[in-house]
A and B are shown apart, each in its own frame.
Chain A
Amino acid sequence: SQQGEEDPQALSIQEGENATMNCSYKTSINNLQWYRQNSGRGLVHLILIRSNEREKHSGRLRVTLDTSKKSSSLLITASRAADTASYFCATDKGAQKLVFGQGTRLTINP
């Protein structure tokens, strides 16, 4: 069964704008990861945030985690055309496997 639900399913913005994607999950987790997938390709790990962390940064990426609300957000600042991709959150419940959310399809318009 899928653990994460992502919102929105699709997002289209202009280059240079910020993009925010949200992920909600149902049960307690050890950590949450975000991955990017360019069309028809493999997934690339972006960032991992532990359950005892609230915010993490990596370059233009900012991830927050609210365990009380069982939700996470991924913010991409100053978007570029190359950021066009699908973005998935993945949760680890300690069951030795990741469960991926439904994903957000992000389109950056030039």
Chain B
Amino acid sequence: DTEVTQTPKHLVMGMTNKKSLKCEQHMGHRAMYWYKQKAKKPPELMFVYSYEKLSINESVPSRFSPECPNSSLLNLHLHALQPEDSALYLCASSPRQGPTGGVSDTQYFGPGTRLTVL
């Protein structure tokens, strides 16, 4: 199984709602990532988990709260979001956070969750 799955595919939420995005992989990867992508822009890294521990937080606002319950699952909890948070949220995984032997691992991406904040 070489797939990263994300649910839901689409999410519409109000600014007072609490929701969660889910990501799952069964490739035995030990690094998992959350990216945010606005239209016609490249993905921007938000968080990295390595061996279920948060290793990178790219100064993301606290209204985004990541969680890694086990090595296969990654969640992103959303609370009190703003309309400008509307974007495509991508999850990715890689065998290790890297680099290993000077070469970082390929990242495998899920299809994303299209989030709209009203």
Contacts and interface: CB of A to CB of B under 8 A. Distances in A.
Interface in B49-73: 50, 55-56
Given A42-B110, A43-B109, A96-B48, A102 B103 contact: no
Given A97-B45, A97-B56, A42 B107 contact: no
B45 A98 contact: yes
A25 to B, nearest CB: 13
B55 A96 contact: yes
- If over half of A's interface residues share one DSSP class (helix, strand or loop), that class is named, otherwise mixed; here it is strand
Chain A interface: which size bin? Answer: 20 to 34
Interface of A: 2, 30-31, 33, 35, 40-45, 48, 50, 88, 92, 94, 96-103, 105
10 contacts: A33-B106, A40-B114, A42-B92, A43-B109, A88-B43, A94-B99, A96-B97, A97-B48, A98-B104, A100-B42
Interface of B: 4, 40-45, 48, 50, 55-56, 88, 90, 92, 97-99, 102-104, 106-112, 114
